[in-house]
């Protein structure tokens, strides 16, 4: 099977966010594979181990994203592709990303594409469903279980806490939700092997795309931090009194009861 | 510049979701005096729900009833709504940022080759441009975003943009449209309802959340009772989910759900940065924790230092009392 994973490099969830010159400051930030994409990498490896084939991990970004691709290779993916837009694109949005991915997949034989259901940074959740539409594939979002039998695929997906059982067929695009699996840590031999695995680097020229064709449809005009939440009142006295005071404050001051 | 704006309505178990009314209010802002047109897909008689959309501010509503639209599928709904878009040529489209909204709108935007601003919490018209505010990094920061080319297409986060008051003197037509639906590639075999009360975390007005301090799945019982008397629902921190006390679908945080209820009561939650990202924009936060140094107290409006198993039952009694007296 030809298995592809869409991967995004994101800030570590531990990072505090600060703004400098109208943008999120990446000064000294630690990066990780977007946690939802990690589920996609893990599931792709499991699918390959069961059905055979090859896992290719694809990312769009800068040179530095090689580190996250190597991590995916160390987990067990076979090949990686970095579509480096550092020199060509100043701005992009989900339209841009999908235009590039569509061009990338144009000449590929694909059985399944897996991605995260959302990235923890920009959190649009658009790329998976948008790409499936361009590639004319069925798309199932927020999956928590997948079984493949021939070309028939049985999926469980999370719909606001309910479980929906879906049947569909390959070729297919899915986006992964927490609960799908427990992503493995790269092993030491895995890390050694990953250094020798193929990692191709492409630019948008190589995909026959012009900058005009990938021009974003949206723009960010301002980035700001929410007002710092001030620590409130820690109540005092016996528990009974505290509870009474709390209920009275919720009713009269906060007006939420 | 006034615009014609389409609102994609959404129902759950035979009733419109509140976010549909919020989407109409948002569409009203985007339209800047233009026409707000509702569209609603489903099976059976949808005219009553269409009428409700009119009472909440839609100038007219198009309903599409088809057995293939009984349950949501991306293929079915996108075909139906796409045909309405073709007929109406709207200049804006607004929908709730719900499970269905997240699945349907990117597919439509891709078909239309348009931009899409997801999960907006605020919007204003500024000199002819619509400026949307949306959280990024799970609410650790915000961005203002505009569509630069063509259709103003956005989803709005539930609970943030107030709906207009229901006014049953408002008149507007509710018309039915026939649509051909074919080639549905995903078949829904079954739906297991886990959310008992039908209130999704993202739409809940009150959330009572438990962390590691809850200690076991039985430990969630008092939290469920508290949520019940407050008309809310239960959530959890990653710690509680990882420990197996509850289902991952309840997880609130940077991975998991981002919520903004009117009242958030954190019980036995220490307040890791990832959890705070998911809930710190709640309107009122109450923290109950044994550890006076717990980070959660730094974002709480009101804090009680104490054992949740002692505090929560007393809280339930007090609230019951004031509800009786009210």
pLDDT at residue A161, as a whole number: 83
Q: What is the CATH number of the domain that holds B221?
A: 3.40.50.1220
* Residue of B288, B277, B267, B293 whose CA lies nearest to B215: B267
φ, ψ for residue B287, nearest 5 deg: -115, 135
Q: Does B28 touch chain A (CB under 8 A)?
A: no
pLDDT at residue A147, as a whole number: 98
Look at B109 and A168 and tell me if their CB atoms are within 8 Å. no
* Residue A134 and residue A241 in one domain: no
Residue B225: is the preceding peptide bond cis (ω within 30°)? no
Binding positions of B for FAD? 212, 237-238, 251-255, 268-275, 289
Q: What is the CATH number of the domain that holds A108?
A: 3.40.50.620
Q: Evaluate whether A144 touches A158 at the Cβ level (below 8 Å).
A: yes
Rounded Cα gap, residues A145 and A1, in angstroms: 18
Look at B110 and A169 and tell me if their CB atoms are within 8 Å. no
- A240: nearest CA in chain B? B314
Please give the share of chain A, as a percent, with pLDDT higher than 90.
89
Q: Evaluate whether A226 touches A109 at the Cβ level (below 8 Å).
A: no
Select from B116, B140, B256 the Cβ nearest to the Cβ of A17: B140
How many Cβ pairs closer than 8 A exist between chain A and B? 248
* Residue A110 and residue A79 in one domain: yes
- B230: nearest CA in chain A? A257
Q: Evaluate whether B119 touches B92 at the Cβ level (below 8 Å).
A: no
* Residue A139 and residue A238 in one domain: no
pLDDT tier at A238, thresholds 50, 70, 90: very high
* Residue B73 and residue B151 in one domain: yes
Residues of chain B with pLDDT under 50: none
* Residue A121 and residue A236 in one domain: no
- Could you say which residues from 276 to 295 on chain B have a Cβ atom under 8 Å away from some Cβ of chain A? 277, 280-281, 283-286, 292
Q: What sign does the CA torsion over A165, A171, A177, A182 have?
A: positive
pLDDT at residue B139, as a whole number: 87
* Residue A49 and residue A162 in one domain: yes
Q: Does A20 touch chain B (CB under 8 A)?
A: no
Assigned domain for A236 exists? yes
Q: pLDDT for A43-81, tens place per residue?
A: 999 999 999 999 999 999 999 999 999 999 999 999 999
What is the span of the domain harbouring residue A201?
A: 2-214
Burial degree of A238 (CB within 10 A; 0-12, 13-18, 19+) = exposed
Assigned domain for B195 exists? no
Q: Does A133 touch chain B (CB under 8 A)?
A: yes
φ, ψ for residue A172, nearest 5 deg: -155, 150
* Residue of A183, A202, A70, A61 whose CA lies nearest to A127: A61
* Residue B166 and residue B243 in one domain: no
Counted domains in chain B? 2
* Residue A175 and residue A249 in one domain: no
* Residue A138 and residue A163 in one domain: yes
Whether the full predicted model's pTM is greater than 0.80, yes or no, is: yes
pLDDT at residue A14, as a whole number: 87
State the smallest CA–CA distance between residue B49 and chain A in angstroms.
22
Rounded Cα gap, residues A147 and A172, in angstroms: 13
* Residue of B231, B166, B236 whose CA lies nearest to B199: B231
State the smallest CA–CA distance between residue B185 and chain A in angstroms.
6
Above 80 in pLDDT, residue A231?
A: no
Q: pLDDT for A99-154, tens place per residue?
A: 999 999 999 999 999 999 999 999 999 999 999 999 999 999 999 999 999 999 99
Above 90 in pLDDT, residue A223?
A: yes
- What is chain A's mean pLDDT, rounded? 95
pLDDT at residue A131, as a whole number: 98
pLDDT at residue A230, as a whole number: 77
- Could you say which residues from 144 to 203 on chain A have a Cβ atom under 8 Å away from some Cβ of chain B? 154, 158-169, 178-179
Above 70 in pLDDT, residue A162?
A: yes
pLDDT at residue B196, as a whole number: 55
Assigned domain for A224 exists? no
What is the span of the domain harbouring residue B318?
A: 201-325
Look at A178 and B256 and tell me if their CB atoms are within 8 Å. yes
* Residue of B250, B241, B142, B248 whose CA lies nearest to B204: B250
pLDDT at residue A67, as a whole number: 97
Assigned domain for B189 exists? no
State the smallest CA–CA distance between residue A199 and chain B in angstroms.
29
Select from B131, B141, B306 the Cβ nearest to the Cβ of A225: B141
Q: Taking residues A170-192, report their average pLDDT.
A: 97
Q: Does B227 touch chain A (CB under 8 A)?
A: no
Q: What is the CATH number of the domain that holds B15?
A: 3.40.50.620
pLDDT at residue B198, as a whole number: 57
Q: Evaluate whether A37 touches A115 at the Cβ level (below 8 Å).
A: yes
pLDDT at residue A143, as a whole number: 98
* Residue B171 and residue B220 in one domain: no
CA dihedral A70, A71, A76, A79 (to 10 degrees): -30
Strand partners, A149: A152
Select from B114, B195, B310 the Cβ nearest to the Cβ of A161: B195
Q: Evaluate whether B187 touches B68 at the Cβ level (below 8 Å).
A: no
* Residue A172 and residue A256 in one domain: no
Contacts of residue B322 in chain A, CB cutoff 8 Å?
247, 251, 257
CA dihedral A205, A211, A213, A218 (to 10 degrees): 140
Look at B119 and A124 and tell me if their CB atoms are within 8 Å. yes
Assigned domain for B155 exists? yes
pLDDT at residue A160, as a whole number: 87
Counted domains in chain A? 2
pLDDT at residue B311, as a whole number: 97
């Amino acid at each position: 099977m030809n298995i592809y994973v869409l991967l995004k490099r994101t800030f570590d969830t531990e990072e505090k966010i600060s703004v400098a010159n109208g943008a999120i400051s990446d000064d000294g930030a630690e990066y990780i594979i977007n946690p939802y994409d990690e589920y996609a990498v893990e599931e792709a490896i499991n699918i390959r181990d069961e059905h055979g084939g090859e896992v290719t991990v694809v990312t769009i970004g800068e040179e530095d994203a090689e580190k996250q691709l190597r991590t995916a290779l160390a987990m067990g993916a076979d090949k990686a592709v970095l579509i480096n837009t550092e020199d060509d694109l100043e701005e992009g949005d989900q339209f841009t990303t999908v235009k590039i991915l569509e061009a990338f997949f144009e000449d590929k034989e694909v059985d399944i594409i897996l991605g995260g259901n959302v990235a923890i940074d920009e959190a649009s959740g658009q790329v998976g469903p948008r790409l499936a539409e361009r590639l004319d594939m069925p798309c199932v979002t927020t999956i928590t279980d997948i079984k493949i039998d021939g070309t028939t695929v049985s999926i469980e997906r999370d719909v606001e806490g309910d479980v929906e059982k879906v049947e569909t067929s390959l070729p297919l695009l899915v986006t992964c939700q927490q609960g799908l699996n427990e992503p493995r840590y790269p092993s030491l031999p895995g890390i050694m092997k990953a250094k020798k695995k193929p990692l191709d680097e492409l630019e948008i020229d190589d995909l026959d795309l012009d900058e005009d064709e990938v021009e974003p449809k949206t723009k960010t005009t301002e980035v700001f931090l929410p007002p710092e939440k001030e620590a409130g009142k820690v109540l005092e006295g016996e528990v009974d009194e505290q509870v009474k005071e709390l209920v009275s404050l919720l009713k009269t001051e906060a007006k939420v009861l | 510049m006034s615009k014609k704006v389409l609102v994609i309505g959404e129902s759950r178990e035979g009733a419109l979701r509140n976010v549909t009314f919020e989407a109409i209010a948002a569409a009203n802002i985007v339209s800047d005096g233009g026409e707000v047109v509702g569209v609603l897909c489903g099976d059976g008689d949808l005219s009553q729900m269409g009428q409700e959309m009119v009472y909440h501010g839609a100038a007219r509503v198009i309903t599409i009833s088809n057995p293939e639209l009984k349950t949501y599928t991306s293929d079915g709904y996108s075909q139906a709504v796409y045909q309405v878009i073709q007929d109406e040529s709207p200049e804006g489209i607004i929908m709730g940022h719900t499970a269905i909204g997240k699945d349907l709108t990117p597919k439509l935007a891709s078909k239309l080759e348009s931009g899409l601003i997801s999960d907006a919490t605020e919007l204003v018209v500024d000199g002819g441009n619509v400026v949307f505010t949306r959280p990024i990094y799970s609410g650790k920061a915000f961005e203002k975003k505009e569509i630069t080319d063509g259709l103003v297409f956005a989803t709005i986060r539930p609970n943030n943009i107030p709906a207009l008051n229901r006014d049953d003197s408002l008149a507007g037509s509710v018309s039915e449209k026939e649509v051909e639906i074919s080639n549905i590639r995903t078949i829904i075999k079954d739906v297991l309802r886990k959310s008992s009360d039908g209130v999704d975390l993202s739409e809940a007005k009150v959330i009572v959340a438990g962390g590691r301090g809850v200690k076991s799945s039985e430990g969630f019982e008092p939290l469920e009772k508290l949520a019940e008397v407050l008309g809310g629902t239960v959530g959890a921190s990653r710690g509680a989910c990882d420990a197996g006390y509850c289902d991952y679908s309840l997880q609130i945080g940077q991975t998991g759900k981002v919520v903004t209820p009117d009242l958030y009561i954190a019980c036995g939650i220490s307040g890791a940065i990832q959890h705070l990202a998911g809930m710190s924009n709640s309107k009122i936060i109450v923290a109950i924790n044994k550890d006076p140094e717990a980070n959660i107290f730094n974002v709480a409006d009101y804090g009680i230092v104490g054992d949740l198993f002692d505090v929560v039952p007393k809280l339930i009694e007090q609230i019951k009392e004031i509800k009786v007296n009210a």
